[in-house]
Amino acid sequence: MWAGRGNWRWWMRRWNSAVLALIAGAAVLLAFSTPEERGKDLFERRCSGCHARDIDKEGPRLRGVYGRKSASVADFEYSEALKKKAVRWDESSLDAWLTDPDAMAPGTDMAFRLRDADERQAVIAYLKSLGNEGPK
């Protein structure tokens, strides 16, 4: 089976082709994932240390945040800076908030920043997709 140099090269070409096909397939799957799916992944990796969809943690629950008035989850204790900020969370305000919370509400408790614009848009798309309904 492996006798001779020619046979070895044939098997290596086959192996290389298989590896390249696998890599290309993975790239296609990543390229076709929706912004909401990418946002969910980013949320779970980058935000879930302090936030959850349906329970308060270090930060407030985020299901229904899109369209909600800032600092309006009744049983969550917000910073004074955010309590004074009268904003309704939409794409523009969430983008500004995730870019630099302290610039938007100086003295806020949230120190995290999401500097990459594509990542911010994906997280915002995910938050928007959660709607106002209970756990899913």
Per-residue tens of pLDDT for the chain, all 136 residues: 555 556 767 777 777 777 777 776 666 556 658 999 999 999 999 999 999 999 999 999 999 999 999 999 999 999 999 999 989 999 999 999 999 999 999 999 999 999 999 999 999 999 999 988 655 4
Q: Are 112 and 101 in contact (CB under 8 A)?
A: yes
Q: Which superfamily does 34-130 belong to?
A: Cytochrome c-like domain (1.10.760.10)
Taking the CA atoms of the chain, what radius of gyration do you get in angstroms? 22
- Cβ of 14: how many Cβ atoms within 10 Å? 10
Residue 46, token pair as written in the block: 């980058």
pLDDT for 4 equals 54
Helix (H) or strand (E) holding 93: helix 91-99
Cα separation, 130 vs 65, whole angstroms: 9
Domain ranges of the chain: 1-32, 34-130
Cα separation, 4 vs 130, whole angstroms: 60
